[in-house]
Amino acid sequence: MEYTIHGTVMQALEIRLSQGEAIYTESGGMAWMSDGIDMKTSGRGGIGKSLGRMLSGESLFMTTYTCTAPQGVITFTPESPGKVIPLTLKAGHSIICQKDAFMCAEDEVDLAMHFRKRLGTGLFGGEGFILQKLTGPGTAFVEIAGEVQLYDLKAGERLKIDPGHIAMYEPTCDYDITMIKGVMNWLGGGEGLFLATITGPGKVWLQTMPLSNLASKLRGYMAKS
């Protein structure tokens, strides 16, 4: 499998498959493809995994595209302005992603629901209790709204973040929620009552435009019209 990411703001992911290679995505995730690619939709993993994926923001059914010709091309496009991020995962290596971040992946990559165990992170963490977990081996692609900033945290190094800006992180990172101190900070700081704290070691990907923020702005303009 080879791939090229085209564009800047509204990117397109073009994947070139050789005969026998396969890639899967949620239902309706494909934009266009060449001849010689077979399409098969299924629950992929049974009803339990299907329901878990649906709770994490994906469709109940997944579609697998397998190249039956010597070469084939298939293209996927994101649902919002932002970046397509490739992830090369070793066997057993996982990445925790925000809901609905998954775009597509090689057939060997496992997509599952990730449940936040801490009460505070689920209630005030910006994305609820349920996230997505991608586990290798293989290459997966995620779509992140806005621009993306990657931090590689050392052991004990911390970042305090508005929860909506956390797009992905490695499971080696510790994720917690802390309350902002000071009544005036609550009332006039504009950040709400809570901040997320990510502690290394591990990588964390932050997004500049959470979709919740964009939706809130659009609602304000729509109410005035």
Give the angle subtended at the CA of 134 by the CAs of 61 and 74, to the nearest 5°.
Answer: 60
- Under CATH, domain 2-224 is a member of which superfamily? Mitochondrial biogenesis AIM24 (3.60.160.10)
For 126-166, how does the pLDDT look when each residue is reduced to its tens digit (9 = 90+)?
455 578 899 999 999 999 999 999 999 999 999 998 888 99
The domains of the chain are located at 2-224
Question: Containing H/E element for 111?
Answer: strand 110-115
Residues 206, 163 contacting (CB under 8 angstroms): no
Q: Which two tokens stand for residue 103?
A: 């775009």
Question: Containing H/E element for 17?
Answer: strand 12-18
For 17-54, how does the pLDDT look when each residue is reduced to its tens digit (9 = 90+)?
999 999 999 877 899 999 999 999 876 665 655 555 55
Nearest CA among 145, 199, 128 for reference residue 170:
199
Q: Which two tokens stand for residue 178?
A: 């802390």
The pLDDT value recorded for residue 62 is 86
Give the burial class of 84: count Cβ atoms within 10 A of its Cβ; 0-12 exposed, 13-18 middle, 19 or more buried.
Answer: buried
Nearest CA among 86, 106, 95 for reference residue 131:
95
Beta bridge partners of 33: 74
Count CB neighbours of 86 within 10 A. 12
pLDDT class of 63 with cuts at 50, 70, 90:
very high
Distance from C-alpha of 15 to C-alpha of 54, rounded to nearest angstrom:
25
